[in-house]
Structure 1
Amino acid sequence: MAYKKLPYNRLQGVVAGVMLMSATTACAQTNAPVNSTAAGGLSGPVQTQQGLVQGAPGKSEGITVFKGIPFAAPPVGDLRWAQPAAPVAWTGVRDATKWGNVCVQPPAPQRFPVNSATDMPDSPAMSEDCLFLNIWTGAKAAGEKRPVMVWLYGGAYNEGGGNAPFSEGDKLAEKGVVLVTFNYRVGSLGFLSHPELTAESPHNASGNQAMGDAIAAFKWLKENVAAFGGDPDNITIFGESAGAALDAGLTGSPVARGTFERAISQSGAWMGLGIALMPTMADSERRTVEAAEKIGATSLAAMRALPAEEVIKNFRGQGMVVDGWIIPEDLSITFANGRQNPVDVLVGSNSDEGSFTAAMGGPPATLASWNEGEARRWGNQVALGRAAYPVSTETEAIKASTMPFSDTMAWHMRLFAESQAKIGKNAWLYWFTHTPPYDADRPNLGAGHTAEIPYAFNNLAAPRTFPAGSSVTLMANNPAELAFADQLSQYWVNFARTGNPNGEGLPQWPTLRQLGADEAMLLNGNGSGKGKWITPAQSALFRAMYEERVAQPLGIKPGQ
């Protein structure tokens, strides 16, 4: 059953979510031949484990796109909040030319940019029956073993879908990968713990439903992507913001081990967008019970009987939690002790991540507000905070006001890269510093949160995703912007192919081991290359904050 679009406070919910983020038996791989044409790619039905699917020509010549393929059973009725079950087989040929339903979430038609999953002219209906994936491929036959890239969308864990125009995969598929997007449950339908849910789980766990959705999608690809020309042994997951945090969470999850080989995290990791302990299942259960009691839903059965609109309205999605199963322990412990999955990583963030906070109608930064916020920002590390961000004038306060958000995230991304390098995996670190053009009537957010996404997908003509709404008009046919998008997307594709972003005609990207402690690969349209991204004082501040707020409470030894 599809649900109508929901009313939405267009800014408050997303911003609050962003800030709070601080079963089938394995079968033999089907490689059944499909009809093909020299120019048109896969023209005939493709055989999956569940049945035949028929796609359609993509927007680029030679690319075939398959939409709305179910990778799990509909999580409805008694399966609401359950981990995903095996997909149901079908007979005949399934039409895979239209988007599947998008997961239930709050639209934002008055916001800029709008919710790109729900507010486009061709956005599908919302429904709890939403576990579908989409595939773009330039393969002409099964078994070509092209690298596979799987996108996990951001949206503060509260919105998003695999149908968003910015993530359409034609341009990346042109570069030789099989590009996959999929829907995972969001908000309180995708991230919710409850004592009864925990009790009914064979793993005594609840709360990471969206992570289970992702793992189910990866397993489906392991079994089926060869039929679309992909290599099931060369899967790279990549995502931004909440999607990047999920990438890191899945890298740390033993349940996800073996389901992918590489990960790209754009602006987010296991601690969210900052430095913090991970939420626990017990706290999540308590908040759910308190919210349920307020509306008289005193049992899990009563909660499952609620319309989806009421669930979204009355319960808060709580993001990834330490549930003892998918996430057995706070992942800071996992990564510090080298117990994470052995996957190559390419990770980083943007130089103006925090710019959106100043562009959303809040009070302007002043010297007084900066000084008054010292204890809130730095806690017991005020002296280090002052050394890292020396501010004595109104101008300096305005400039510094968004920097800690950006720099804390960058420090977290480096920790992620260092953790993978320590276990012998390829690790690559970037700092996206390119300022895209913005329309004159829109705030210039610089290299803001989500600003890199159009370049990573090489989709400069597609509508943008919240919050960094750079100009489609000024970028779509701009030779310099197009050249940079071609460069950055090629780095991503090269990494997916071999674990190394470097390639012919690209500025050399040093490995993490070749970078100094204050260096990263600066991605900039005016010339990418190695450069400094942090000062020694800032690095000392964030290390001290991590030791105090995370390492010491978790018993992680200094230097781990």
Structure 2
Amino acid sequence: MKKIMLIATLLSILVEGYAQEKCDTVFVRASTENGIIEGFEKAGVRIFRGIPYAQPPVGELRWREPQPVKNWGGVKKTVQFGPRAMQLPVFSDMRFRSNGMSEDCLYLNVWTPSKNYREKLPVLVYFYGGGFIAGDGSEYRYDGESMARQGIIAVTINYRLGIFGFFSHPELTRESPHRASGNYGLLDQAAALQWVKRNIARFGGDPGKITIGGESAGSFSVSAQMASPLSRHLIAGAIGESGSLLGFREMLSLAEAENRGLLFQKAVGAGNLNDLRTLPADRLLKMTQRKDVPSFGVIVDGYFFPEKPETIFSKGKQAHVPLLVGWNSMEGHYKALLGNEEVTVENYEKAVRQRYPDIAEGLLKVYKANSDEEVAQVATDLAGDMFIGYGTWNWSDIHAQTGDKKVYRYYFVHPRPGYKNAKTGDDPLIKGAVHSAEIEYVLGNLPVNDVYDWQSEDYFVSTLSQLFFAHFIKKGNPNGFGVPVWLPVRPNQPADVMIIGSNTRLQKEQHRDRYLYLRNVHF
């Protein structure tokens, strides 16, 4: 009986506390170009969720450039995240707070520490990762409250994904005023940036100090927005975490992408574009799971990208802004090459020759394993560089040569801890920072992710990482109070790289020969 009474008392306290929290909620308002919105204040940070930045891309607006928001009367409630873009559940680490899933997904979220909306604070607009097929601005790891406490206005946005965001078709090209189709997800991002440029002063932000950032597909997006004539004039700085469009991934031409669209139409038995447009969104999404249909991604469409992004950067036509960029120490894994084979020099060299027959001999010179003990690390390096490391390096290296602004390169090495109440199952041969592991650290969001068993060392690394990012967002330079000195990349020379981990330090890049070789075979 005593136990029951104790439980009842605790429940009563919890309910009372929840009710008190509800009663104590302070609602705040802001004026946008389309109308008044109402969010809420949490411990000094004003939060607005689910702000529409474009019309819902549904019906006739499916596969159209994002259209301007229509004005509304009265006060629009913006306390709940908007719906996330149509997507399949492909990544288990994505934890959403969004209001369901819908084709009506073009919303953004703002966290501002501004009290009177007159401070002209720096702004971070962050693009989520997920391979352009998944992700959402409501994910816990992208939460903007921590950055707001650094004196920065944080913005996350939603953009169209998969077939909804990157489908090309000859009929779409013909009906477009720009004679282009595809890249709708990137056009969404550009529209969101334009909205921020026009409206952020109403939240206390400086429209002249907008830094864009993102991880994985979000980092690819940053390189895209820097390259496009539609958006490169909107930004003052850029942050890229693991990935760019200047790597090995092939970008189709508009004509090639249109052909894929026709193949998709034929495979699903649609007679024309109108048939595809009238399909229910969930049915269209389900069709993309079929093995007989092509996939869709970023293309050179002649409008968002007049040329290949790498060509744009090489010619110096990209946004001339400071760039903070890097990748993680375990973006790939030796098993991606070796599978379940024994980890030996013989098996490693055999695997490289089978996977990359045309360039194997050159690869084995710069990714050389001198003993069986070295194989796990060297093979992990190669797998990570072919996946995403090289493209990130190439972006930073070319921008340092042609961008007229400073580039700061990092290498994140701190391993994430294991899951709470579970064994980690760490690989005994290799340990490092896996793809996406840095996100919670650099955005100051360890406390909002209760999946991992964070330790004091993790909070130390997070404090340093976030300070680097915050300094950069504020002044285009990661140097400042509380962090080690970080030197910029010097063109055509081995770079000074900030190794971020429990022993954060500046170090000369160790393997420039690898990336120069990859560039040679890439072109």
Measure how far apart 1:216 and its partner are: 0.6
Measure how far apart 1:499 and its partner are: 0.5
Measure, in 2, the Cα distance between the counterparts of 1:497 and 1:227: 19
- Structural mapping, 1:9-20, within 5 Å: none
1:499 pairs with one of 469, 473, 476 = 476
The aligned residue for residue 390 of structure 2 is 411
- Consecutive unaligned residues in structure 1, runs of 5 or more: 1-39, 465-470, 551-560
Question: What amino acid maps onto 1:88 in structure 2?
Answer: K
The aligned residue for residue 339 of structure 1 is 317
Distance 1:149 1:365, change over 3 A: farther
- Consecutive unaligned residues in structure 2, runs of 5 or more: 1-23, 289-293
Distance 1:361 1:106, change over 3 A: farther
The aligned residue for residue 87 of structure 2 is 105
Measure how far apart 1:481 and its partner are: 1.7
Measure, in 2, the Cα distance between the counterparts of 1:227 and 1:360: 52
Q: Tell me the TM-score normalised to structure 2 length.
A: 0.87
Measure, in 2, the Cα distance between the counterparts of 1:300 and 1:532: 54
Measure, in 1, the Cα distance between the counterparts of 2:476 and 2:354: 40
- Structural mapping, 1:396-545, within 5 Å: 396-408=374-386, 409-421=388-400, 422-439=402-419, 441-444=423-426, 446-463=432-449, 472-473=452-453, 475=454, 478-513=455-490, 516-517=493-494, 519-526=496-503, 528-545=504-521
The aligned residue for residue 12 of structure 2 is none
- Once the two structures are overlaid, the 10-residue window that deviates more, 389-398 or 225-234, is 389-398
Deviations 1:325-361 (A, max 9, x none): 1011111111111111222211110111103x84999
Q: Does 1:173 align with 2:148?
A: yes
Distance 1:201 1:458, change over 3 A: same
Distance 1:46 1:433, change over 3 A: same
Distance 1:88 1:344, change over 3 A: same
Measure, in 1, the Cα distance between the counterparts of 2:144 and 2:238: 17
SS in 2 for 1:420: helix
The aligned residue for residue 217 of structure 2 is 242
The aligned residue for residue 45 of structure 1 is 29
The aligned residue for residue 13 of structure 2 is none
Distance 1:479 1:289, change over 3 A: same
The aligned residue for residue 19 of structure 2 is none
Measure, in 2, the Cα distance between the counterparts of 1:537 and 1:361: 23
Measure how far apart 1:223 and its partner are: 0.9
Q: Does 1:354 align with 2:336?
A: no
1:64 pairs with one of 46, 65, 78 = 46
Distance 1:238 1:317, change over 3 A: farther
Tell me if structure 1 keeps the 8 A contact 2:88–2:134: yes
Counting matched residue pairs gives 486
1:371 pairs with one of 324, 335, 349 = 349
**Same amino acid, percent of matched pairs:** 34
Measure, in 2, the Cα distance between the counterparts of 1:545 and 1:201: 37
Tell me if structure 2 keeps the 8 A contact 1:387–1:537: no
- Structural mapping, 1:72-83, within 5 Å: 72-83=54-65
Measure, in 1, the Cα distance between the counterparts of 2:516 and 2:318: 25
Measure, in 2, the Cα distance between the counterparts of 1:398 and 1:460: 29
The aligned residue for residue 189 of structure 2 is 214
The aligned residue for residue 236 of structure 2 is 261
Question: What amino acid maps onto 2:465 in structure 1?
Answer: L
- Structural mapping, 1:256-405, within 5 Å: 256-271=231-246, 274-315=247-288, 317-355=295-333, 358=335, 363-364=340-341, 366-367=343-344, 370-375=348-353, 377-391=355-369, 395-405=373-383
- Once the two structures are overlaid, the 10-residue window that deviates more, 395-404 or 82-91, is 395-404
Measure, in 2, the Cα distance between the counterparts of 1:133 and 1:292: 32
The aligned residue for residue 39 of structure 2 is 55
Tell me if structure 1 keeps the 8 A contact 2:336–2:383: no
Measure how far apart 1:502 and its partner are: 0.6
Measure how far apart 1:419 and its partner are: 2.5
SS in 2 for 1:447: coil
Measure how far apart 1:388 and its partner are: 1.4
Measure how far apart 1:544 and its partner are: 2.2
Measure, in 2, the Cα distance between the counterparts of 1:436 and 1:285: 42
The aligned residue for residue 108 of structure 2 is 133
Question: What amino acid maps onto 1:309 in structure 2?
Answer: D
Tell me if structure 2 keeps the 8 A contact 1:344–1:420: no
Distance 1:157 1:376, change over 3 A: farther
Aligned-residue CA RMSD (Å):
2.4
SS in 2 for 1:512: coil
- Once the two structures are overlaid, the 10-residue window that deviates more, 85-94 or 414-423, is 414-423
Tell me if structure 2 keeps the 8 A contact 1:81–1:189: yes
Of structures 1 and 2, the one with the larger relative CO (CA 8 A, separation 6+) is 1
Deviations 1:258-296 (A, max 9, x none): 22121101000113xx42442222222212211210121
Question: What amino acid maps onto 1:544 in structure 2?
Answer: N
Measure how far apart 1:74 and its partner are: 0.3
Tell me if structure 2 keeps the 8 A contact 1:41–1:63: no
Tell me if structure 2 keeps the 8 A contact 1:384–1:537: no
SS in 2 for 1:402: helix
The aligned residue for residue 86 of structure 1 is 68
Distance 1:381 1:362, change over 3 A: closer
The aligned residue for residue 95 of structure 2 is 116
Measure how far apart 1:542 and its partner are: 1.6
Measure, in 2, the Cα distance between the counterparts of 1:364 and 1:259: 50
Measure how far apart 1:185 and its partner are: 0.6
- Structural mapping, 1:186-197, within 5 Å: 186-197=161-172
